[in-house]
A and B are shown apart, each in its own frame.
Chain A
Amino acid sequence: MSNEKITALAKAVATGKADAQKLAHEAISARIAPGEILIKALIPAMKKVGEGMQEEEYAFPEIQSAVKALQSVLDILRPALEGASSSTGIQKWEGAGELYELGGHLVTFLDKGAELQGYDLILFLDECIRGLLEQVALPCHKQAASTHK
């Protein structure tokens, strides 16, 4: 039962569905630990996004909507995990390049979360979102920078 909930949540985040937060609430009600939700649902979901980018299936719209769904879930997990953090150990996003390259960076980056626990996982995904969105929106920024200054 818990596996089904985790799978449904991962799919909802990866495909940017609005019911991701509702599914996360259901998972919590079913006593699935927040850490388990992060490791078994959210990180695999974002890996799917990375793979979609590598396969030319995902671009700005799909990434934006997946991130929106992810953030809606992080919002409800955050209070439960808030507390001790070793945030100095959180990896910084350093990936750059075109969409397919960013997809590869995303998958590799997410692998670095395997050793993290608790609130560090939230901070790790926050950094992932920040770095990813900054890079994916770069064509808009570049266009603005080159012509709008």
Chain B
Amino acid sequence: MTKPMTPKERLAAVDEFREPDVMPVFPRIMAQAIYGKGWMLGDISTKTEINGEKVAEAFLESVKEIGYDWPFGGYMDHGFGVPPLGGTLKIPDKFGVSVSIDEPVIKERSDWASVQNKLPLDPMKDGRCRGTLQSIKIISKEIGDTHPLFAAYYTGITAANILFRKVSDLSLDAAEEPEFVDELCKAATAWCNDWIRAQYEAGCNSFCYLGDHFGTDLISPKMGERFILPYIADTVAMVKKEFGQKTYLHIHGNFKGPKAYNLLERLVKEAGVAGLHMDEKHDPKWIKENIVEKWHIPAGIIVHGADPIQSGPPEKIDAHVKEAIEAIGTPGLGYFMAPSCQVLPDTSNANFKAWVDATHKYGKYPLGSLKQG
């Protein structure tokens, strides 16, 4: 009986195109770990503080109970950095709801001048960042030997949206005053880099995992070249230079068109993205043929969007996972299982675990061995 690999060893195997023992699962888990514990977000977060000890308790229990491979070092949402800049957050009091921005930092373009006076923003001046760093320290101490803990955030226009400005306003800015958006992207990416540095210093021990929810869902490939590409490149270079780590990217949008595909290729070849996690618009076969086999980088496969994991039942999740893994065929090197975006906040632990268990069952290497008996 071979000893099972640790999640860290599985990541190394996937990244190096070797066989892991089983296909690892990256749930990109955020608020679900809190709800899965039976808590509400108000139990771990206020508008200005996060309780790092409670977050660590919830996440450690989540990793242990669900058995997924690659966690974040703490609870992540879109509110980091916002309160010190004058924005306000809405902490939901209902189950399954994420923290949202109540009042953005920049309501009018003219607000930018006064916001600039508050930059650069020190993560340690944000009580929610401090709490998250505390949870990273605790989680790293507990499971850092066996689990990779990703540093994570957003760059470019996505970071500018989260940190400064509503999507619809930022989108119109991009058309009417792109130089203004350049400035926001630059400032938000500088914050992103400092926030990622702080996460590594607190105990993140593995790759950086960037997110981009603009992608080609909201902006054209041409705008992506301006508002996404250089900022991803900037953070990838910083992470490589200062921490010797690679960067994986989760990006939204359909990248099957020639211009979008060209942007994706540039993100890999020019910006240096080392692994990709697309959304539900890309089935496993497309990911295999257009990413993994074409550029020889690892990629996440998903199971028909987020819905099956969220809505279940476990038998349906099992069937979807089987189908997704069979679609990549053998030898199936360089793949991990991921949700379309994140394991949604109101996903039950039972469905979540069914997804992870099915991936470890059908994703046993050599792939197809289960079918052969």
Contacts and interface: CB of A to CB of B under 8 A. Distances in A.
Contacts of B167: 140
Given A56-B257, A56-B259, A100-B257, A61 B213 contact: no
B100 A143 contact: no
A140 B218 contact: yes
Given A56-B260, A146-B306, A137 B168 contact: yes
Contact of A64 (B168, B222, B342): B168
A20 to B, nearest CB: 13
Contact of B223 (A61, A65, A99): A61
B94 interface: yes
Contacts of B341: 143, 146
B220 interface: yes
Interface residues of B, number: 38
Contacts of A140: 167-168, 218
Interface in A71-100: 98-100
Given A98-B281, A147-B344, A148-B98, A61 B171 contact: yes
Contacts of B171: 60-61, 64
Greatest chain B CB density within 10 A among A18, A65, A140 is at A140
A146 to B, nearest CB: 6
A60 B219 contact: yes
A64 B344 CA distance: 29
Interface in B332-369: 341-342, 344-346
In which size bucket is the chain A interface? 20 to 34
A64 to B, nearest CB: 5
A57 interface: yes
B172 A64 contact: yes
Interface in A115-149: 137, 139-140, 143-144, 146-149
Contacts of A40: none
Given A146-B341, A147-B342, A147-B344, A57 B220 contact: yes
Contacts of A18: 176
Contacts of B258: 56
Contacts of B346: 149
B31 to A, nearest CB: 8
Contacts of B260: 56
Contacts of B173: 61
Interface in B228-275: 252-254, 257-260
Contacts of B221: 56
A16 B218 contact: no
9 contacts: A59-B218, A59-B219, A59-B220, A59-B223, A61-B172, A61-B218, A62-B220, A146-B341, A147-B344
User: Nearest 3 A-B pairs (CB), nearest first?
Assistant: A65-B175, A61-B175, A139-B217
